[in-house]
Structure 1
Amino acid sequence: MPITFDRSICRDLNETISREWLVTNGVGGYAAGTIADVLTRMQHGLLVTSQKDAASTQLLSAKIDEEVVFDERKYYLGTNEYRDGTLNPAGFGHLEAFRLEEGFPVFTYQLGGIDGIMLEKRIWMPHGFNTTYIQYRLLSTSDFRNATQQVGRTSWRRNSEELSSEEFVRNNGFPAYPEAAQRMLSLTLLPLSAYRPHSQPQYGNNDWHFQVQVHSNSQQQASGEQDDAGDDYGLPLPMPKGVTGCTIRAWDGATPYSIFAVGHPDSQLSFIPTGVWYWHFLRRHDQAAGRPAIDDLYLPGVIKAKLWPCKDSVLTIMVTAEELSSLSFDQHQLNLSYKRSKAEQKHLVSSVIQPLRYFGEGGETSHDAQMLSLPPASDTTLSSEEFLRLLIQAADRFLVQRALPPGDPVDKMSLFSHSQQSAPVILSDYFSLEVHTRDALIALPGLTLATKRFDEARRILRYYARYFKQGLLPDRLPSLERPLEKRDYGSADTTLWYFFALDHYLQTTHDYQLLEELYHHLIESVNCYTQGTLNGIKVDPDDGLLRVDQPGNSLTWMRASIDGTPSAPRRGKPVEVNALWYNALSLMHQWTQHHEQSGYTSHEHEPSCYQVQATRCKEHFQERFWYAGGGYLYDVIDGPEGNDSSFRPHQLLALSLRYSPLDSERRRSVFELITEQLLTPFGL
């Protein structure tokens, strides 16, 4: 059964405000929020774009609040939290159900009593476009009950959708126009807008009004609902009946974005400009973290429409930063967009199961990755197959094509079929939009190799290699707003994870042509570690172990600091850094042997050179890191205060890497002790 929450969860604010949804477009843009529809982070919004001509990632549309009139009663479906803690409105109280449909959020609101109707809202983004779609349609309560019984077995069926609008009008006795239909509702949408960096607040001002160009349809023009802003921002687009919208600029010269509504020709669709600020929205997650937490949003206008429960009475909202000439205002095409987006998500799963052909050393071949069988999920409503599906779809969210910083084009050897203005990266998370190199390299086998995205893995490894400097990789990759600085080359282990990721790639694809291309980077890296490189990172000639020692800095993954002082500096020889160092030396020995045997271009280093280093490193690792009094490994040795016997999970890397510096007996001892003392239901 897919992820589904019923009213017992949906109408509990504590449950819904802490559950977040995310949809992405594959190029760094996204939409995100909570099930309760409360924006709890500055980064929450309906359209967040990462465009090559923008100085930073921009949040353009924050949310859409819905007001519904049905059966002579008004319902407020949005939920907002304000600076003083007030919730107004509190529309989550009408939320009957929430589910993910191939990863896309679907909200169902109940209107009226037991014989009322259901308003369904779904949100998606097409791959490769800075556009978010929000679609509304009606269900009867009986349709909804029938549908909920089918979740997990068949697709949702809506009996009312089998009727066309003409049939609906005829069956309900309205020969010309469905306005008097008993199941019709009036929908008013409030698209709250912004124009700010996605992680920073927006402060409104009564002297600052967004520039709004209305694109009215023939029905609005006939009724006199015209835009009074003139055509300072370009001529308005003539809209067909059933389509309306506007183009918005926050100020002169700002990048424009647009909001369009596409409905049935008889839906009385209109856009009414307002131009007012809504003040002091609270972002509780930022408040708890001590960050700026108050945000102001701008309402450029309201969208009004009629809806009734028929298959072609659908209202689709487009929030987009794309060129208007590229947009389709045909409802059938918009429905196909959603179907294509769902099909792409299904293909992600099916492609993992089917063998994938690729070109590696020796020509074309095929590879059928071995997938471990999943144990029963802790949530009994999720089957192992469904759990795997969710993992694969979630993994896809973090693989994006990212615009290159100015002056940093893709190298000439890039595949000609890919954009010369972007490169594939693995995002660490969508709320920072940073590419942390260590995180990406650790995640690469699971996100790209297990899912058979071998070409993307290859391109990621090639692209990241371009940032080697004095044998090190930076902690993060550059972005349009943040070029690299010297301090970004500030960790001892990040580069060693590159050896780990490349090894997994080679084991899976046997693409040793890539190894030949990257080999000079690997040789230089080992040489720099051995002879000494930035930040006091250097192999100790006395024992062959890697030392990291720079006062005032933390050079491992534990980078937290208080007032600029590292909370865990770990100066000396950290256990996981040396486990990674031994693994890298062992891999270099193996790869150099392969080069000799395969007749590749000779290099100055012989396999025996790395074998000698690896053997010496292993001997001293076992001798010096073993804490006999505890039956585990020291966390750091040769620190300013001697050896640190803190019992930490870092030592697991000495067990889990392909080449372990520990013998089997000591590996077992460490594993059993960590399982006994550090393993919790929430991890280590």
Structure 2
Amino acid sequence: MSYLKFDKTVMINLEESLRREILRTNRNGAYHCTTVVDCNTRKYHGLLVMPLPELDDDNHVLLSSLDETVIQHDAPFNLGLHKYAGNNYNPKGHKYIREFTCDTVPRTVYRVGGVVLAKEKVFSLYENRIMIKYTLEDAHSDTTLRFKPFLAFRNANSLAQENGSVNKLYQDVPNGIKTCMYKGYPDLYMQFNKKVKFVFEPYWYNGIEYLKEQERGYPYKEDLYVPGYFEVPIKKGETIIFSAGVGPVATNQLKKLFVQEAEARTPRTSFYNCLKNSAQQFYFRPKEEDAYLLAGYPWFKVRARDLFISLPGCTLSIDDPVRFEKIMHTAMPAIRNFMQTGKGDGVIREIEHPDVFLWAIWAIHQYARAMGINKAQTLYADFVGEIITYFRDQKHPDMKLMENGLLFAEGRDKAITWMNSTINGKPVVARSGYIVEFNALWYNALKFYKELAGDKADESADVLINKMDTSFVETFLNGYNYLLDSVSGGYVDWSVRPNMIFAVAFPYSPLNRVQKRAVIDIVTKELVTPKGLRSLSPKSEGYRPNYVGTQNERDLAYHQGTAWPWLFGAYLESYLKIFGKGGISFVERMLISMEEEMSLHCIGTLAEIFDGNPPYTGRGAVSFAMNVAAILRVLEMLKKYNAE
């Protein structure tokens, strides 16, 4: 039985099927994303969406969708589905769906009278190309398939409107055509593995609506251009493969290419395999010699903090240390360049944020724990030492080392932490001064540096550690036995926030066991939800649990009560550290709700955020690297505890 399977009752119920999305990506940052019924509900959805660096820094939707029509006895049965005004869906092809599975590749089975047609999709790992395989599993009379491509050729952040500037010209290519709607875009090649007839019949489909954009308060109507349609006869048992890409393909190799691409995927046959598959979809390699992690899909790019937080889970926890080394090898020169020149990186964004370098050390620490201290010393000892020296010598423009050994960061006027939502350029959560996770990271980094450098360690590290053993607790621990989120002069942020949990989760901590237990207790009582830790306690002023409404309303809620699964990683790691084997059953229970997400929202992965109150609806990006990585790390920890 398939792990990810949806029957007819789910598929024909649009309230159920339209909220379930699928995502397939490649190493170039291109992707295919839509709903399980192939009805686009976001402007970011499409069969072929890809970055075009020659145009701008965004993704672009080339091929929005492909409507299939089954023709028997001259009677057409259209399998497509689009939303129009008045909650009108047309042509309602979802009513023919009998089941959808997504173990290896997305597979939809349609039944139209006596016709049973299976559709499977793969997205090429290294080419910007989608391939769709159609197999006629049953038919009692002659059958023809018609394919109608809906073209967009637009920035993924905008919407297309009917216009007179579109280039309607096309050229025949082997078993298909190539066309390009606008100057500056690449040609789109649409080809089949057998000879087809193309009928040139240009037409604009106006007023297609995107439900998710409407919910988010954005423009949501668009016009899509259809240049015509393809027709091809198909026999019972026959397979036809459609390819859409920005380069030609050897059509006689399409079947072989499809099989090769499908076999390269991790089958999504379990919770772990779903997360492993999802982790691999964040791998990004714009140049052959480089390697990165994208922060999420469909709109995030490479972000420095996200990269380092996600790195151990997306590589080490799925037994891929070589990938860790490649990504770190790419990232280290960018950090060194910033430390030397103060200049950012062209690919890794937000590298200037003061905690980024400390998260890099944390990631290396995880590598050392997985691969051994000797290997970590060989690869990364010098790099870690450079970062420690950089902070010790007061060189970071937004972080200062104080006499008490703590780091002080200026964040009143700009967002410098992971709680980075802004309105009119000002941070919604102005975390400034002594920031709790910054200093937990700093303490852990100093201790790990001593472990890594051994006899070569700078003696000043011991001095700083000794100071922090006292100053951290004096600064952050309050009379209610939880940690203050930030302290700046006379201003103290008493809000109960999840950032304190890192002082428990990290391998080295200035807290004693009693203090750690107290932190876990208050986090458990006020911040834990089935989908992650709330970014703010319901008892704290300004609690906004629902990420809905206009952009400003959502920005206000982003870190003021929404639940973040990536914080579960630190929380559950802390829980296991304190309670040992006695905490295993609790952690396993907490992961049940995470596994439920494999068949909800974007199937097989984890959404960016969840509402902080029931029913804990998933919001934001459909797939988020830090969340996937954190839960993979928890699964790895559980495996080790159970083995012991």
Query: TM-score under structure 2 normalisation?
Result: 0.77
CA distance 1:619–1:657, change in 2 (3 Å): same
1:39 matched residue in structure 2:
40
Residue number among 641, 644, 658 corresponding to 2:493 in the alignment: 644
Check if 1:505 corresponds to 2:367. yes
Shift of 1:654: 0.5
2:234 matched residue in structure 1:
307
2:532 matched residue in structure 1:
683
Q: Distance in 1 between matches of 2:291 and 2:232?
A: 41
Give ranges in structure 1 of 5+ residues lacking alignment.
141-180, 216-238, 350-381, 404-418, 597-601
1:200 matched residue in structure 2:
158
Q: Distance in 2 between matches of 1:522 and 1:291?
A: 44
**Per-residue CA shift, 1:524-568, capped at 9, x if unaligned?**
432332343445311221x21111124311221111122222111
| Bigger mean CA deviation after superposition, 78-87 or 559-568 | 78-87
**Highest CA radius of gyration, 1 or 2?**
1
2:64 matched residue in structure 1:
62
Give ranges in structure 2 of 5+ residues lacking alignment.
534-644
Q: Distance in 1 between matches of 2:129 and 2:341?
A: 34
Q: Which AA in structure 1 matches 2:471?
A: H
Query: TM-score under structure 1 normalisation?
Result: 0.73
Check if 1:275 corresponds to 2:142. no
2:5 matched residue in structure 1:
4
Q: Which AA in structure 2 matches 1:624?
A: T
**Per-residue CA shift, 1:498-529, capped at 9, x if unaligned?**
00111112232347566456545433432332
Query: How many correspondences in the alignment?
Result: 530
Check if 1:82 corresponds to 2:84. yes
Q: Which AA in structure 1 matches 2:123?
A: M
CA distance 1:257–1:533, change in 2 (3 Å): same
Moved >6 Å (runs of 4+):
472-476
Q: Is the CA contact (8 Å cut-off) linking 1:470 and 1:534 kept in structure 2?
A: no
Q: Is the CA contact (8 Å cut-off) linking 1:206 and 1:277 kept in structure 2?
A: no
Residue number among 133, 136, 148 corresponding to 1:135 in the alignment: 133
1:575 matched residue in structure 2:
436
Q: Which AA in structure 1 matches 2:482?
A: Y
Q: Is the CA contact (8 Å cut-off) linking 1:444 and 1:501 kept in structure 2?
A: yes
2:328 matched residue in structure 1:
461
Q: Distance in 1 between matches of 2:318 and 2:520?
A: 29
User: Secondary structure of 2:273's partner?
Assistant: helix
Q: Is the CA contact (8 Å cut-off) linking 1:400 and 1:427 kept in structure 2?
A: yes
Shift of 1:204: 2.7
2:270 matched residue in structure 1:
386
Q: Distance in 2 between matches of 1:38 and 1:451?
A: 33
2:614 matched residue in structure 1:
none
Q: Distance in 1 between matches of 2:90 and 2:157?
A: 24
**Per-residue CA shift, 1:152-177, capped at 9, x if unaligned?**
xxxxxxxxxxxxxxxxxxxxxxxxxx
CA distance 1:681–1:78, change in 2 (3 Å): same
Q: Distance in 1 between matches of 2:140 and 2:441?
A: 69
CA distance 1:666–1:391, change in 2 (3 Å): same
**Per-residue CA shift, 1:27-50, capped at 9, x if unaligned?**
222111101222112221111233
Q: Is the CA contact (8 Å cut-off) linking 1:66 and 1:76 kept in structure 2?
A: yes
CA distance 1:673–1:622, change in 2 (3 Å): same
Check if 1:478 corresponds to 2:478. no
2:177 matched residue in structure 1:
246
2:423 matched residue in structure 1:
562
Residue number among 510, 525, 532 corresponding to 2:394 in the alignment: 532
Q: Which AA in structure 1 matches 2:77?
A: Y
The equivalences for 1:189-338 within 5 A come to 189-215=147-173, 239=174, 244-252=175-183, 254-263=185-194, 269-310=196-237, 313-322=238-247, 324=248, 327-330=249-252, 333-338=253-258
Residue number among 143, 146, 166 corresponding to 1:185 in the alignment: 143
Q: Is the CA contact (8 Å cut-off) linking 1:470 and 1:533 kept in structure 2?
A: no
What is the CA RMSD across the aligned residues, in angstroms? Answer: 2.6
**Per-residue CA shift, 1:555-583, capped at 9, x if unaligned?**
21111122222111111211111111111
Between 1 and 2, higher relative CO (CA 8 Å, sep ≥ 6) is seen in 2
Residue number among 318, 339, 343 corresponding to 2:259 in the alignment: 339
Q: Which AA in structure 2 matches 1:341?
A: E
Q: Which AA in structure 2 matches 1:279?
A: N
Kindly, what percent of the aligned residue pairs are identical?
Answer: 25
The equivalences for 1:7-22 within 5 A come to 7-22=8-23
Shift of 1:79: 0.8
Structure with greater helix share of residues: 2
Q: Distance in 2 between matches of 1:680 and 1:305?
A: 52
User: Secondary structure of 2:264's partner?
Assistant: helix
CA distance 1:443–1:623, change in 2 (3 Å): same
The equivalences for 1:388-427 within 5 A come to 388-403=272-287, 419-420=288-289, 423-427=290-294
The equivalences for 1:43-122 within 5 A come to 43-50=44-51, 55-56=56-57, 57-70=59-72, 73-102=75-104, 104-112=105-113, 116-122=114-120
Q: Is the CA contact (8 Å cut-off) linking 1:79 and 1:91 kept in structure 2?
A: yes
Q: Is the CA contact (8 Å cut-off) linking 2:376 and 2:452 kept in structure 1?
A: no
User: Secondary structure of 1:196's partner?
Assistant: strand
Q: Is the CA contact (8 Å cut-off) linking 1:575 and 1:635 kept in structure 2?
A: yes
Q: Is the CA contact (8 Å cut-off) linking 2:503 and 2:509 kept in structure 1?
A: yes
Q: Distance in 2 between matches of 1:136 and 1:337?
A: 15
Shift of 1:106: 0.7
2:481 matched residue in structure 1:
631
Q: Is the CA contact (8 Å cut-off) linking 2:364 and 2:376 kept in structure 1?
A: no
